[in-house]
Structure 1
């Protein structure tokens, strides 16, 4: 079977109500100012994940490394999933929903790698592949770097600006949340 450099997440997703794919979007535009702004939010640790995951700041790479990595990719497929009926103020419910979405993104990434894709997948929040027991906490290398799912914020991606630049609406409401997984391809 001949390998192609034209990959898509569409073969691994059953689009249903609340799920769609934005195919072959331009890669996100990331500046040092973006990364500084988001990393400042990370350092403020409002989400409680600063210094707790290899995929969040300060361990996800330097500003230059993150910018260079994103800029080395040609296009992106974006998984857009709407979640209805979740209470944005219910922290446990939100965490479960986000963990489920990150797991879906990770599974897609692994299937793409199996097919020969050179893919960088980004999602909201920390990786959580190892649950709360990320090896960064005990100063050990990541045992599963191929399963890592870096944080969009750590890479300085302004999701609102990015999604709107694609002609899409962006926003949250009390009972509807939209999550995005970015899959960057070479």
Structure 2
């Protein structure tokens, strides 16, 4: 959502100019929208945090599993991936 970009510019999550999926490297909202809509399929992954796991541990576990899955997909020959996350 374009209105969320102000949170990025204020670096409220600490990822501004650090994570390639975040501004400014990811491009404008319109650029991001065009990239996403170029794909015909999406796979949405969700991690449900257990009571004995804090947020950072859950996020790290989710990211590691996502990276492992992406590696397997690329090994099978499909290298055109766009990985996005929200948290």
Q: TM-score, normalised by structure 1?
A: 0.41
Question: Pick from 14, 17, 20: which aligns with 1:48?
Answer: 14
Partner Cα separation in structure 1 for residue 9 and residue 17 of structure 2 = 9
For structure 2, which runs of at least 5 residues remain unmatched after alignment?
none
Following TM superposition, by how much is the alpha carbon of 1:66 offset from its aligned partner in structure 2, in angstroms? 0.9
**Is residue 111 from structure 1 mapped to residue 75 from structure 2 by the alignment?**
no
**What are the Cα deviations for residues 38-58 of structure 1, in whole angstroms up to 9, with x where unaligned?**
211112222122222222111
Higher relative CO (Cα under 8 Å, sequence separation at least 6) belongs to 1
Which structure has more strand as a fraction of its residues? 1
Question: Pick from 80, 86, 93: which aligns with 2:46?
Answer: 80
Equivalences, count: 86
Partner of 1:101: 62
Q: TM-score, normalised by structure 2?
A: 0.80
Cα RMSD after superposing both structures: 1.9
Map 1:146-165 → 2, pairs under 5 A: none
Following TM superposition, by how much is the alpha carbon of 1:109 offset from its aligned partner in structure 2, in angstroms? 1.0
Question: Pick from 16, 22, 26: which aligns with 1:60?
Answer: 26
Map 1:125-144 → 2, pairs under 5 A: none
Partner Cα separation in structure 2 for residue 57 and residue 86 of structure 1 = 33
Following TM superposition, by how much is the alpha carbon of 1:86 offset from its aligned partner in structure 2, in angstroms? 4.9
Which structure has more helix as a fraction of its residues? 2
**Is residue 37 from structure 1 mapped to residue 10 from structure 2 by the alignment?**
no
Partner Cα separation in structure 1 for residue 3 and residue 41 of structure 2 = 24
Q: CA 1:41–1:86 in 2, change beyond 3 Å: closer, same or farther?
A: farther
Conservation of the 8 A alpha-carbon contact between 1:105 and 1:123: no
Moved >3 Å (runs of 4+): none
